[in-house]
Chains A and B, each alone.
Chain A
């Protein structure tokens, strides 16, 4: 359903102590949008992503997922969500892929993938397993379903983590530097899976350092600097002549590797 707003963030702020990391960020994602969040380390892009599913509690601002607002209580002593149950529900609608994969090490790959649908969404086990096997085949590790995470390469683990997030049938997928912890030769296999996902029309928000992905796969590039959005636009605009000086300097560091 193009045109439907899947995710909407209004004026999000986050402080750690007296240090303000996010200084009022607003962002909308329509159905099928693939948004790359770029920025130097410390620019707040990962914190922003983690605020959306409340792994970090925003100090101020609004988050809407599919036109449902996450209710927050703001007071002098700090902010907290009004309802834990609502937070759990919203989180189950947002798929998250971490830099460090974070697969549950005591479960096999298949168990990792069915865990959420089975216990959080309480779907029938046979359906969960059928879905999981399909997803594992899609990310190319069907043969590893009975292996434990420690037995897999980083690239395989990250693909399993993507399958785990997809098994929840999320409305939006959040990627927090999904390839940064990988050896260079393993980056490609994860990016291929993400690209296929984008082509299927999945709404994605991707914090990344992969310029090729930002340029060729995403339809919008957002550049963050010192807790604010410095500039944003289509990849053609951003990587073209209209780029802001700060963004031009930022991509300069990456050279002409593409």
Chain B
């Protein structure tokens, strides 16, 4: 079968190429999720703060980065970042065009978007903590730092797991758009393979199938994590003598 040969690991096959690109997709998404976690925490904190101007900043951030097409944000970071770096290069005496590395630009762009969604997830998770448990922390004399570290953070993480699972899926699919920067992740690899073999249908189907494998596997991971985190919540009789 000629088609199978195309997908094989051999010299004529694109199998290894696609698998490597799948790993790149996972790496971009994971980096984006980490960047988004930092941004999302800061934005959620801003939205929950007592300061009116901080709340406004948080509101603008989530409105813009959830409301504007992902593609446009990728252009902003990739082209904007490159012009920025080129300007710095000229200032340092280098005359050519300097491009932002596509991996960094892609992860940053998807991370910024992911941060907007994560901020909403964290904010929701914070509101899910029973008020009484925070009052109990106050009543026992915990200061702000201790309250955050011992009572709020662990519970926010637990309540955020399902939402973070959704954001991960979203970012995984958004990462396909990073292909416009030339980064050879799964989408771009499918494009290159299909273009050079003229087997468009085959390679887009295979690329799509690999995405389905990624999304359904990560679904399982997050469901497992949710079950683990909720052990203390279920009515199950764990550890009962």
Q: Residue of A at shortest CB range from B142?
A: A120
Cβ–Cβ contact B139 & A120, under 8 A: no
Interfacial chain A residues near B140, Cβ < 8 Å: 91-92, 96, 115-116, 120, 164-165, 168
**B93 at interface, CB cutoff 8 A:** no
CA distance A149 to B240 in the complex (A): 12
State whether A98 touches B141 (Cβ < 8 A): no
Compute how far the CA of A115 lies from the CA of B149 in the bound complex, rounded to whole angstroms: 12
A88 contacts which chain B residues (CB < 8 A)? 141-143
Task: Looking at the assembled complex, report how far the CB atom of B140 sits from the nearest CB atom of chain A, in whole angstroms.
Answer: 4
> When each residue 2-31 of chain B gets 1 if its CB lies under 8 Å from chain A and 0 otherwise, what string results?
000000000000000000000000000000
The answer to whether A106 and B235 touch across the interface, beta carbons within 8 angstroms, is: no
CB distance from A55 to the nearest CB of B (A): 6
Q: Is A103 an interface residue (CB 8 A)?
A: yes
Complex: how many Å from CA A147 to CA B241?
9
Q: How far apart are A122's CB and chain B's nearest CB, in angstroms?
A: 10
Q: Which residues of B contact A103 (CB under 8 A)?
A: 133, 136
**Is A200 in the interface zone, CB < 8 Å from B?**
no
Given A89-B141, A96-B139, A104-B239 contact (CB < 8 Å): no
- Encode contact with B along A80-113: 1 for CB under 8 Å, 0 otherwise: 0000110011111110101011111111100000
A102-B239 in contact (CB<8A): no
Binds A, one of B56-64, B150-158, B219-227: B150-158
B130 contacts chain A at the CB level, 8 A cutoff = yes
User: With A91-B139, A102-B135, A116-B140 as given contacts, are A151 and B236 in contact (CB-CB < 8 Å)?
Assistant: yes
List the A residue with the shortest CB-CB distance to B132: A102
A147 to B158 alpha-carbon distance, docked (Å): 18
- Is B51 in the interface zone, CB < 8 Å from A? no
Q: How far is the CB of B149 from chain A (nearest CB, A)?
A: 9
A125 to chain B, nearest CB (A): 14
Of listed A100, A104, A116, residue having the most chain B CB within 10 A = A104
Q: Which of A90, A91, A102, A106 has the most CB of B within 10 A?
A: A106
Also in contact, A148 and B232, with CB within 8 A (given A91-B140, A98-B132, A104-B136): yes
Q: Would you give the shortest CB distance from B45 to chain A, in whole angstroms?
A: 18
Cβ of B228 < 8 Å from any Cβ of A? no
Q: Give Cα A104 to B130, complex, Å.
A: 9
Whether a CB of chain A sits under 8 angstroms from the CB of B88 is: no
Q: How far is the CA of A119 from the CA of B142 in the complex (A)?
A: 8
Asked whether A105 and B133 contact (CB < 8 A) given A147-B238, A150-B232, A150-B235, the answer is: yes
Report the interface size for chain B: residues with CB under 8 A from the other chain. Answer: 30
Contacts of A102 in B (CB 8 A): 130, 132-133, 135-136
Q: B239–A146 contact, CB under 8 A?
A: yes
B182-201 CB contact bits vs A (8 Å, 1 = yes)? 00000000000000000000
Which residues of A are found within 8 Å of B133, using beta-carbon distances? 102-105
With both beta carbons as reference points, the residue of chain B lying nearest to A152 in the complex is identified as B240
Asked if A98 and B237 make an inter-chain contact with CB atoms under 8 angstroms apart, the answer reads: no
- For B112-146 the 0/1 string (1 means CB < 8 A from A) is 00000000000000000010110111111111101
> Counting CB contacts under 8 A, is B233 at the interface?
yes
Minimum Cβ distance to chain A for residue B237 (Å) = 6
Chain A, residue nearest B151 (CB): A104
Say whether A143 faces chain B, with CB atoms less than 8 Å apart. Answer: yes
Query: Is A53 located at the chain interface by the 8 A CB criterion?
Result: yes
A residues near B136, Cβ cutoff 8 Å: 96, 98, 102-104, 161, 164
Looking at the assembled complex, report how far the CB atom of A162 sits from the nearest CB atom of chain B, in whole angstroms: 12
Given contacts A104-B151, A151-B240, contact A120 B130 (CB under 8 A): no
Q: Are B158 and A92 in contact (CB under 8 A)?
A: no
Are A105 and B146 in contact (CB-based, < 8 A)? no
- Quick check: is B50 within 8 A (CB to CB) of the other chain? no
Given A92-B140, A119-B146: 8 more A-B contacts, CB < 8 Å: A88-B142, A104-B137, A108-B232, A116-B140, A116-B141, A146-B239, A151-B240, A161-B136
Query: Which of B's residues lie within 8 Å of A, judged by CB?
Result: 130, 132-133, 135-144, 146, 150-151, 154-155, 158, 231-241
Please list the 9 inter-chain residue pairs (A to B) with the smallest Cβ-Cβ separation, ordered nearest first. Answer: A92-B141, A102-B132, A148-B232, A96-B139, A102-B136, A91-B141, A116-B140, A146-B239, A88-B141
Q: List 24 A-B contacts (CB under 8 A).
A: A53-B139, A85-B143, A91-B138, A91-B140, A91-B141, A92-B140, A93-B141, A96-B139, A98-B135, A98-B136, A100-B130, A102-B135, A104-B151, A105-B130, A105-B232, A106-B158, A106-B232, A115-B150, A116-B140, A119-B142, A147-B238, A147-B239, A150-B233, A151-B238
